[in-house]
């Protein structure tokens, strides 16, 4: 089997019936269904959504993004084998656990294929909701340089690298470029404080001010559920990013839900607990790949300095990484997914054709 065929690198060219442009992010592509198809599926499948809710097909890819660039390897390998299936399997597992613990729903209505979610349109909260339990990474680098205030939280003196914090630390940042909010720079991914959110809750897409406390509760509760589950398999949940939004159910009630992915090696740091006890950090997340890139290139400042984005983009475009570097992250992703879910991640021989066949036969969504 050709390895390149097993990698789903391009996911925005599927013949899914849509009358809108396909929205392609770093890893996922979103196909908005026609009004007719949305209504038909809601009826046929009995989804608990408003009868006129817009639905979308969300297709994950195996692309690997780090430092805001997409990376590839020699042999025309443009993604990480098994990555997409591993990420979706982990998210699906946590979303199910959240529901069992009475936290909140997600935007996922159906999972036709390991690479595919059927989702309902949500009104997104324009916040990357970040929760931390350890001081590490960029926060440690800033702390080491003397910074003590992070998103309105004041950290005490004397903290040590990679050590546990006294309490959960919420350090939100903007999702997208938000304009006209006092004290918030007009740039993507800038840190914000709770006061910024309270003073401009509608600009961040909150329906009411009381929902700020609710999103924080769902963030901490979700972190807790994942953390406890990971502890049972000897893993440490270090920090994570959640996203939230609003949907309306079949009865017309608006509710705050979890969106995108949760608790994955792409959106979180996960450490091996046994190694941590021995004083070593073993990453079961994308952080391992980021560290590889920083040591692989002679000038790591290109990857860390936002003012050098054109050079960084060229670095990612013009350098085929050693295949082993992507196979290494493949083993990490598949390994942690199998540990979390207790199930084997099967690599598909031709994921694209499988997706087309299922969406055609079982959902009637392929343009003929």
Is residue 214 within a helix (H) or strand (E), and if so which, with residue range? helix 211-232
Query: CA 49 to CA 255: how far, in whole Å?
Result: 11
Q: What percentage of the chain has pLDDT greater than the value 70?
A: 100
Cβ distance 31 to 16 under 8 Å? yes
Q: SS3 sequence, 300-331?
A: CHHHHCHHHHHHHHHHHHHCEECHHHHHHHHH
Please compute the mean of the pLDDT values over residues 287-303 and round it to a whole number. 96
Could you report the per-residue pLDDT of 171-195, keeping only the tens digit for each?
A: 999 998 999 999 899 988 899 999 9
3-state secondary structure of 359: helix
Could you report the per-residue pLDDT of 35-80, keeping only the tens digit for each?
A: 999 999 999 999 999 999 999 999 999 999 999 999 999 999 999 9
Query: CA 2 to CA 97: how far, in whole Å?
Result: 36
Distance in Å from the first CA to the final CA of the chain: 29
What secondary structure does DSSP assign to 89-152, as a single string?
A: HHHHHHHHHHHHTT---BSEEEEEETTEEEEE--EE-SEEEEEEEE--HHHHHHHHTT--EETT
Could you report the per-residue pLDDT of 325-356, keeping only the tens digit for each?
A: 999 999 999 999 999 999 999 888 899 999 99
Q: Which domains does the chain possess?
A: 1-124+252-368 (3.30.200.20), 125-251 (3.30.470.20)
Confidence of residue 2 (pLDDT cuts 50, 70, 90): confident
CA distance readout (Å), 336 to 6, 56, 142: 20, 28, 29
Helix, strand, coil shares, percent, the chain, to 5: 35, 25, 40
Query: CA 177 to CA 188: how far, in whole Å?
Result: 5
Cβ distance 57 to 359 under 8 Å? yes
Please compute the mean of the pLDDT values over residues 268-280 and round it to a whole number. 97
Predicted confidence at residue 1, as pLDDT, reads 60
- In eight-state DSSP terms, residue 205 is T
CA distance readout (Å), 364 to 48, 57, 61, 121: 20, 12, 22, 20
pTM: 0.94
């Amino acid at each position: 089997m050709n390895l390149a065929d097993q990698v789903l690198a391009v996911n925005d060219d599927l013949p899914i019936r849509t009358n809108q442009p396909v929205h392609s992010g770093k890893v996922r592509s979103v196909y908005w269904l026609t009004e007719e198809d949305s209504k038909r599926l809601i009826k046929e499948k009995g989804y608990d959504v408003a009868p006129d809710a817009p639905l979308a097909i969300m297709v994950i890819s195996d692309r690997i993004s780090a430092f805001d660039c997409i990376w590839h390897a020699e042999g025309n390998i443009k993604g990480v084998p098994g990555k997409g299936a591993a990420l979706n399997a982990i998210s699906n597992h946590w979303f199910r656990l959240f529901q069992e613990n009475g936290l909140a729903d997600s935007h996922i209505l159906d999972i036709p294929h390991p690479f595919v979610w059927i989702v309902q349109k949500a009104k997104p909260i324009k916040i990357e909701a970040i929760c931390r339990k350890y001081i590490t990474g960029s926060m440690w680098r800033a702390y080491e340089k003397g910074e003590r205030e992070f998103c309105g939280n004041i950290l005490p003196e004397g903290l040590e690298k990679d050590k546990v914090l006294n309490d959960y630390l919420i350090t939100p940042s903007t999702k997208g470029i938000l304009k006209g909010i006092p004290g918030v720079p007009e740039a993507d991914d800038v840190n914000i404080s709770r006061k910024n959110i309270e003073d401009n809750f509608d600009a961040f897409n909150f329906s009411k001010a009381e929902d700020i406390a609710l999103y924080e509760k769902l963030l901490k509760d979700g972190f807790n559920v994942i953390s406890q589950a990971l502890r049972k398999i000897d893993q440490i949940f270090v920090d994570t990013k959640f996203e939230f939004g609003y949907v309306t159910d079949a009865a017309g009630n608006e509710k705050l839900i979890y969106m995108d992915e949760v608790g994955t090696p792409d959106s979180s740091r996960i450490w091996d607990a046994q190694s941590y006890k021995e004083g070593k950090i073993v990453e079961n997340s994308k952080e391992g790949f980021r560290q590889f890139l920083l040591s692989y290139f002679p000038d790591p400042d290109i990857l860390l300095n936002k003012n050098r984005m054109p050079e960084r983009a060229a670095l990612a475009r013009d350098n085929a990484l050693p295949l082993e570097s992507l196979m290494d992250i493949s083993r990490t992703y598949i390994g942690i997914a199998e540990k979390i879910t207790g199930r084997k991640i099967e690599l598909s021989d031709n994921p694209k054709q499988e997706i087309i066949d299922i969406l055609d036969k079982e959902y009637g969504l392929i343009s003929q």
